[in-house]
Amino acid sequence: MLIPENKQFDIWSDELTIPILALDIVIFTIYMGELCVIVSKVEENSISWYSIPGWIVAKWFDLEKNFDDILKRKTWIEWVYKEQLYTFWDPKRDPRGHVVAVCYYALVQVDSFLTKVDFTKVDILKYSQIDKTKLFYDHAKIIHYAKQRLEWKLEYTNIAAQILPEKFKMSQLQWVYEIITGKKYDKRNFQKKVFSLGILQETWELDKSTNRPAKLYQFLEKDIQIVEKNSFV
């Protein structure tokens, strides 16, 4: 690990004259039909809290390396879509000291980590319950900010590819949009709008898991693709 666990209290020395730099991660997934956030469990003064996974940035390593290290160490999740979100800098955001947090958000398919994580250390929280949950410091604010960014990304990118299987039904795609945005879409209007983005193609295959076979689609690009002309508005 980049920073040994037994060194965690050295950083709070009053002799430090510069802020402490941390990296925090909001991890979104869709679980049991709802948008959820994967959080760390924290025990402090005999009180149970939750926090978004994070740690102090290790010196001499870039942020990408720090992100991968923190993600693996805190959740045992690897290889996720990640995007830098914002830097939260309020000097009073952490009562322990002046901590500046470089924040990311990530997307992960729930099936890819359910069998790997240690649920004595992490939990899955419904986004709808975030404001009713004991979260560290400004972590609820960070999660809400990340959720808004994710919604915006749906309007002009193929970011849904990071949370769907490679091939999917149109109903699955609409389901993802509705879960993330909290809106209901008319089926025909949704298809018209999503095709206008130019990010999908038909596979000419059928899903035969039900009595009513449905067409399967896939994104033209797996990596993030930005639409310059139309947007999903």
pLDDT tens digit sequence for 78-94: 889 999 999 999 989 98
Give the per-residue SS3 of 152-211: HHHHHECHHHHCCCCCEEHHHHHHHHHHHHCCCCCHHHHHHHHHHCCCEEEEEEEECCCC
225 within a domain of the structure (yes/no): no
Q: How do residues 206-222 score in pLDDT, each as one tens digit? A: 877 777 788 999 999 98
Q: Same structural domain for residues 81 and 195?
A: no
**Structural domain of residue 120, as residue ranges?**
5-154
Query: What pLDDT is recorded for position 45?
Result: 73
Residues 106-135 have a mean pLDDT of 89
112 and 195 within one domain: no
Residue type, 191: Q
Above pLDDT 70, what percent of the chain? Answer: 91
Domain count of the fold of the chain: 2
What's the CATH number where 185 sits?
1.10.10.10
Judgement on whether residues 133 and 150 belong to the same structural domain of the protein: yes
The whole-number pLDDT of residue 7 equals 52
Residue 138 within a domain? yes
User: In angstroms, rounded to a whole number, what is the distance separating the alpha carbons of residues 146 and 159?
Assistant: 14
Asked whether residue 150 carries a pLDDT value surpassing 90, the answer given is yes
Predicted confidence at residue 13, as pLDDT, reads: 62
In a domain, 206, yes or no: yes
The CATH number that applies at residue 149 is 3.90.79.10
- For the record, the structure tokens of 175 come out as 């389901």
- Give pLDDT, residue 11: 60
Single out the residue in 154, 183, 201 at which a domain terminates: 154
Count of residues making up the chain: 233
125 in Cβ contact with 32 (< 8 Å): no
Same domain? 126 vs 19: yes
Residues 6+ apart with CB under 8 A from 201: 217, 218, 219, 220
Q: Is residue 185 part of a domain?
A: yes
49-67 pLDDT tens trace: 899 999 999 989 999 999 9
CA-closest candidate to residue 113, choices 72, 173, 68:
72
- What does the pLDDT read at residue 231? 60
Does residue 229 form part of some domain?
no
Is the residue at 231 inside a domain? no
According to the model, what pLDDT value does residue 47 have? 77
Residue where a domain stops, chosen among 134, 154, 174:
154
* Tens of pLDDT, residues 8-40: 445 656 665 678 899 999 999 999 999 999 999
pLDDT tier, 111 (very low <50, low <70, confident <90, very high otherwise): confident
What tokens appear for 135 in the block? Answer: 């979260």
User: How many C-beta neighbours within 10 Å does residue 24 have?
Assistant: 24
- Both 18 and 69 in one domain: the answer is yes
Tokens of 220: 């033209």
Over residues 125-138, mean pLDDT: 93
Q: What is the pLDDT of residue 5?
A: 56
Same domain, 149 and 179: no
pLDDT of residue 232: 61
Whether residue 192 lies inside any domain: the answer is: yes
188 and 120 belong to one structural domain: no
